[in-house]
Amino acid sequence: MDARIVLLGAPGSGKGTQAKRLCEEFDLTLISTGDLLRQAVRDNTPLGAEAKRYMDAGKLVPDELVIGLIKEKVEGLEGGFLLDGFPRNLEQARMLDGITNVDMAVELDVDEEMIVDRIVKRRSCRQCGEVYHLAARPPKTADVCDQCGGELYQRTDDSEETVRERLKVYHERTQPLVDFYKERGILIKVDGRGGIDEVYHRIADAIRGFAK
């Protein structure tokens, strides 16, 4: 599919898990700013060191740092893509408009109670970034990644306190984007409650329906 899709949703709404699968099925390039930033932190680049301070506090990384990463990935890209975690505020959305068209914005809608539970049980692979959930998607062997055998860990920004701050930032800065894309007539709201497969099929059907 050639669509350019933005995936919106609070932290813990399942964006990362669903984004990966959607990209495989619809043959889209996945661009996750959270993953790009975590990679920069692991690689100990100057950008990574700067970004880490904000990430650990649950705050947004300054736009100029993130925008550079996105430009590099989006400009010159052939075919469709799915953005996970970008844009996160109106300034980023306007900047994105300056470099490409957005065809659809999918909002994953979940309640906050569910979010905190999901996030505190989330584990990620240190090596390949694969994401697990201790109840909904446990690894076959405890603390070991099914994909690459890497060690599973809890993200430093997945503590309950930081999650609360990230939710606040989401409501204040990112939620206005729902109206931004709704006014444009390209918002697709999807119920994000339920199992991973169930939610996946809901999103996939909504995307196919919209693309017709």
15 belongs to the catalytic site: yes
66 binds ligand AMP (CB under 6 A): yes
At closest approach, how far in Å is the CB of 80 from ligand AMP? 19
Residues of this chain, 27-46, that bind ligand AMP according to CB under 6 A: 33-34, 37
88 belongs to the catalytic site: yes
Task: Return the residue nearest ligand AMP (CB atom).
Answer: 34
Nearer to ligand AMP, 36 or 104 (CB): 36
Token couple for 102: 């957005």
Amino acid, single-letter form, for residue 202: R
Contacts with ligand AMP by CB under 6 A: the residue count is 17
CA dihedral over 136, 156, 21, 118, signed as positive or negative: positive
128 near 110, Cβ under 8 Å? Answer: no
158 binds ligand AMP (CB under 6 A): no
166 binds ligand AMP (CB under 6 A): yes
**Spatial distance between the Cα atoms of 130 and 153, rounded to a whole number of angstroms:** 11
207 binds ligand AMP (CB under 6 A): no
21 belongs to the catalytic site: no
**Spatial distance between the Cα atoms of 17 and 196, rounded to a whole number of angstroms:** 8
13 binds ligand AMP (CB under 6 A): no
| Integer CA distances (angstroms), 160 to 24, 36, 66, 135, in order | 31, 23, 25, 17
90 near 175, Cβ under 8 Å? Answer: no
Contacting residues toward ligand AMP, per CB under 6 A: 11, 33-34, 37, 54-55, 58-61, 66, 85-86, 88, 92, 157, 166
